[in-house]
Structures are given as structure tokens and as C-alpha cells.
Amino acid sequence: MAITKEYKDYVLEKLECLDFITYRPMMGDYLFYYQNIYFGGMYEEERFLIKETSSNQKYNLKEALPYKGAKLMYWVEDLEDMERLKNMIIDTCKDLKPKKK
């Protein structure tokens, strides 16, 4: 199931708490970057997932597969607490590398 425009707009609104957020459409899903670091995305069934890292384990999120054959990621079900969301993304990106240009 493809991501609806309403869900995409909802997630983007919640991510306004961070500067330098970009996204790219990818085969019906969306990949998200914070300061050029890929940290997660919106995937089928309208789920917002972030990469698993040692710095974001403290949030006790459920694991989920973005698609068949992919690595497990964390499912961020509650996007309403924007301060928690902001900290979660910053913590996630601490352990990840920027994309190559």
C-alpha cells in the first residue's frame, strides 16, 4: 500500500521540530535524512520507522521490517511528542554516517 499524501504531510509537519530534514520518494515509500544522514522513513502500511542504533535503544520502540528482506528498524508509533521525536532522531543520527555526495 502506497503512502497517502495526508500521512506524508502529517509526518513532515511533526518533523518541523528539526532543521535540515530532507526526504526522497523511493518506490512508493519515503526516505528521511537529517543533516544528510539517512535515519529512517515512511514505509508501507503508513509506518514511520527509524534505524536501530545503540543510542536510540533507550526509547524502547518496537522492531519492524520496512519491507521483506530488509534489516529490522524501530517503529515510531507516537509522533505527537515532538520533543521526544526530535531527541530520538538526533540520538539515532549520532551513530550513523552522512550520505556520500
pTM of the complete model: 0.91
- Please report, in tens digits, the pLDDT of each residue of the chain (101 residues total): 678 889 999 999 999 999 999 999 998 899 999 999 999 999 988 999 999 999 999 999 999 999 999 999 999 999 999 999 999 999 999 999 887 76
Report pLDDT for 28. Answer: 87
Report pLDDT for 22. Answer: 95
Identify any residues that bridge with 32 across adjacent strands, giving them in sequence order: 23, 40
DSSP SS3 for 48? strand
Report pLDDT for 93. Answer: 97
For the chain, the structural domain boundaries read 5-80
CA-CA distance, 89 to 37, in Å (whole number)?
A: 10
CA-CA distance, 56 to 46, in Å (whole number)?
A: 21
Q: Phi/psi at 16 (nearest 5 deg)?
A: -65, -10
CA-CA distance, 41 to 69, in Å (whole number)?
A: 16
